[in-house]
Amino acid sequence: MKAIDMKNVYSNYKGKWVALESATKIKVVASGKNLKEVLGKAEKKGFRMPMMIQVPKEILPIVGPYTIQ
């Protein structure tokens, strides 16, 4: 499986919830402050089951189950 480049999503949507068209199509169809709001926006645009992600405010290294801060 080819890696998916999420740099554009991260740089434009830091700290927000984002609805993507699908797991393989990284097209943002809606974004907002909370999950419920974003799901509502996506559904109004005809996307009943978009891929939902919460974009972190900053990228931190992860070691095992812990995040280093």
Condensed to tens digits (0 to 9), the pLDDT of residues 3-56 reads 788 889 999 999 999 999 998 888 999 999 999 999 999 999 999 999 999 999
Which carries the bigger pLDDT value, residue 38 or residue 2?
38
Distance CA 24, CA 10 (A): 16
27 touches 20 (CB < 8 A)? yes
Query: Which pLDDT score, from 0 to 100, does residue 66 have?
Result: 62
Sequence ranges of the domains in the chain: 7-67
Query: Which pLDDT score, from 0 to 100, does residue 64 have?
Result: 65
Query: Which pLDDT score, from 0 to 100, does residue 24 have?
Result: 85
Query: Which pLDDT score, from 0 to 100, does residue 68 have?
Result: 60
Query: Which pLDDT score, from 0 to 100, does residue 9 have?
Result: 92
